[in-house]
Amino acid sequence: MGESGKIESSLRKVRVGVVGVGYLGEHHARLYSDLPGAELVGICDLDPDRAAAVAKKYGTRAFASPAELAREVEAASVVVTTRDHASVAVPLLYGGIDLLVEKPLAATVAEAREIVEAADRVGRILQVGHLERFNGAVRALAPLVREPRFIEAHRLGPFVERAADVSVVTDLMVHDLDILLAVVPGEIRSILAVGTRVVSDHIDIANARIEFDSGCVANVTASRVSPEKQRRIRIFEPDAYMALDYARQEIEVYRKQAPLAPGGRAQIVRETVHVEKGESLREELIAFLDAVRERKAPIVSGRDGLKALELADEIEKKIG
């Protein structure tokens, strides 16, 4: 990750903008304004006062609309409310703009497909903001996963009003669903799920049991009504146990090794795994800029985002 930053700094600046500068969108603007490989041309937001304040803070220009911004940039982050992703992203793609769309890709599977199809039709880069793929611990863990048999993931935290427009499945659980689809081979065989509303009009706590045709079973829990944050995943293999803390970017790996003496018990030995910690969003934006420059497939493609949303949708249907 650090190396990617070094390489990125020596390449041409990508003219980029940010559509939607609320809590998360401002962080996109902050990082673009600081990255050597980006030129933050401008931002826009439904709230003109907010747009003006963020533009002034990061030394850029506030545009009145995404269409006006599109005339000046080659790439953009779309960080508006989920329900507006498709209405903002599709015209930008047809306008020739490469996009990083925050997760979930869209409010519905149909809208997500519309975004992906638009990107394919006009040959634009479409990256989806599944941030955990750029977590230093996840990057270190992914190549170590060989034969997952059971996975347990917990993503818990207190209620945040800005995410109340979607369920906890598409708000929080979708992060872990994306990780599952990236590390577990094969197709999904069955899904069992439960959940309930607590403080919003959508599901606020959910659990899903997902069985893959490889035999792997994943038990995934997400809650946005818990008093403390927890972001962890554990992976069990026939000869290994791996535990990852997303927030701390730390990994524990234990592997079974041959007994010291014939007839003895197998040993369980802890492996040392180097994790290059960093700001995941920064690494995500660097990867997006790199994909734009080199015209290569992004690490988290539109189709990856669509698959994660399709799985989230199936879980929500099971909950009812």
Return the CATH number at 148.
3.30.360.10
296 shares a domain with 264: no
- Tell me: do 10 and 119 sit in the same domain: yes
CB atoms within 10 A of CB 110: 10
Residue bearing tokens 């933050």: 40
pLDDT at position 9, please? 47
- Domain span at residue 79 reads 2-132+281-301
For residues 255 and 169, state if they share a domain.
yes
What pLDDT score does 299 carry? 97
Q: What is the pLDDT of residues 49-91, one digit of tens each?
A: 999 999 999 999 999 999 999 999 999 999 999 999 999 999 9
Q: What angle do CA 119, 4, 144 make, to 5 degrees?
A: 90
pLDDT score, position 38: 97
d(CA 113, CA 106): 9
Cα–Cα dist 266/105, whole Å? 45
**Both 61 and 169 in a single domain?**
no
Q: State how many domains the chain has.
A: 2
Q: What is the pLDDT of residue 10?
A: 61
Q: Which residues of the chain have pLDDT under 70?
A: 1-10, 163
| Pair 194, 111 in one domain | no
State the CATH number of the domain containing residue 11. Answer: 3.40.50.720
Q: Are 214 and 142 in contact (CB under 8 A)?
A: no
158 and 268 in a common domain? yes
Residues 315 and 179 in one domain: yes
CA torsion angle 83 308 283 162 (round to 10): 30
For residue 255, with 0-12 CB atoms within 10 Å meaning exposed, 13-18 middle and 19 or more buried, which class applies?
middle
Is the domain of 13 the same as that of 114?
yes
What per-residue confidence (pLDDT) applies to 164? 75
